[in-house]
Amino acid sequence: MKNNLTVIKPVAIKAFSALSTCGMGNKALYQSLADNQSQLAPLSLFSISFPAFVGEIKQPLLDIREQLAEYNCRNARVALTALNDAEGGVRAAVETAKDRYGAHRIGVIIGTSTSGLYETESAYGVLLETGDMPDDFHFVTEHAYQATARFVQLELGLTGVCYAISTACSSGAKAIAAGQRLINGGLCDAVIVGGVDTLCRLTLRGFRSLELVSNQPCTPMDKNRNGISIGEAAGLLVLEKCGADNADAMKVLAVGESSDAHHMSTPHPEGKGAVLAMKNALQLAGLKADKIDYLNLHATATKINDSVEGRAVFSVFGDSVPCSGTKGITGHTLGAAGALETIIALTALQQQFIPGTQGLQELDDECQCQVIQFPLQTKNMQIAMSNSFGFGGNNASVIVAL
């Protein structure tokens, strides 16, 4: 059945910045991608009872200022560090937008799946030992899903729309979609969007209970893949309505979304939700499938997810579009993945290269789409797509352009 979606207006990307296990900023991310170098390593942030390679942020994190001390958690510090990356220019772009539109016309939408859960786990440990929660633990401003978004809003002195999105692995991508809609709907003139997620015990143990955690660095799309490597990251983008002053800016053309609700943790075996998200993105952008020059796969390195995604991508694009999965470098950053991998797609367009699929030795026999093993220099790439498919069938495909 064909959806009657109206082509959506693109929005300009004024700045973007990534903080991940690859390091601080877009250059560090690009270097790891260009080198096809995995940054996954054994967990050191806290102890756990099983082996796990993770994409842990090694960059020193900035401290939360005293006035916002109640928001002090790892998630907020990761967001703050990415926000202050001078190279990415996110804070500077927000300040420029404030001068132009006013603080009340700038929104904040942050996707996350963990929020401040790491601090909640630590606080609960204190509760078990002493019978009391620690005095410096603040549930609403650390643990709650909206906490990071609210922290970013207060840190930047903004007063517009502010909320969080938590749809598992598609959270960061859906934040981008929501930001585009706020701008096109006239509710905001600019929106800071993205995803922030940090490592915690619950996430690792939860995926372990599903028998999805690899005891080695993950190998997306590989015939012998055996599970994911969890990572942490912040991916932040400043979106603004298109105008004469940003005609040359990179753009979000559209985000296709779907919710197939097939199963709590397993995608539809035919990839119906994934197919619908990709087709919706193309229709909203007013594009045919052959206009996509590069596709960043969700590619979690689990047996079922990679097989289903390969089937879905082939049904939409055939084998004509070069694809790659980059979680073998960054790990699966969960609620931040959609934003981080949109930034990877933007980096691919900027640098005119196709990232490789780190860890891929032998492509899965069932995969018919064109999966790139090693990075490739190219030219004339104009448009890229990034897939993010979450638990519960929450799917999103982001299309960006030079």
Give whole-number Cα distances, 305 to 96, 224, 296, in Å: 41, 14, 15
Of the candidates 22, 169, 188, 369, the residue annotated as catalytic is 169
Of the candidates 200, 332, 367, 369, the residue annotated as catalytic is 332
Q: Which residues contact 122 (CB under 8 A, 6 or more apart)?
A: none
What are the backbone angles phi and psi of residue 359, rounded to the nearest 5°?
95, -15
C-alpha–C-alpha distance, residues 44 and 21, integer Å: 13
Q: Is 298 a catalytic residue?
A: yes
- 3-class secondary structure for the chain? CCCCCCCCCCEEEEEEEEEECCEECHHHHHHHHHHCCCCCEECCCCCCCCCCEEECCCCCCCCCCHHHHHHCCHHHHHHHHHHCCCCCCHHHHHHHHHHHHCHHHEEEEEECCCCCHHHHHHHHHHHHHHCCCCCCCCHHHHHCCCHHHHHHHHHHCCCCCEEEECCHHHHHHHHHHHHHHHHHCCCCCEEEEEEEECCCHHHHHHHHHCCCECCCCCCCCECCCCCECEECEEEEEEEEECCHHHCCCEEEEEEEEEECCCCCCCCCCCCHHHHHHHHHHHHHHCCCHHHCCEEECCCCCCHHHHHHHHHHHHHHHCCCCEEECCHHHHCECHHHHHHHHHHHHHHHHHHCEECCCCCCCCECCCCCCEECCCCEECCCCCEEEEEEEEHHHEEEEEEEEC
Of the candidates 143, 298, 323, 367, the residue annotated as catalytic is 298
- The catalytic residue positions are 169, 298, 332
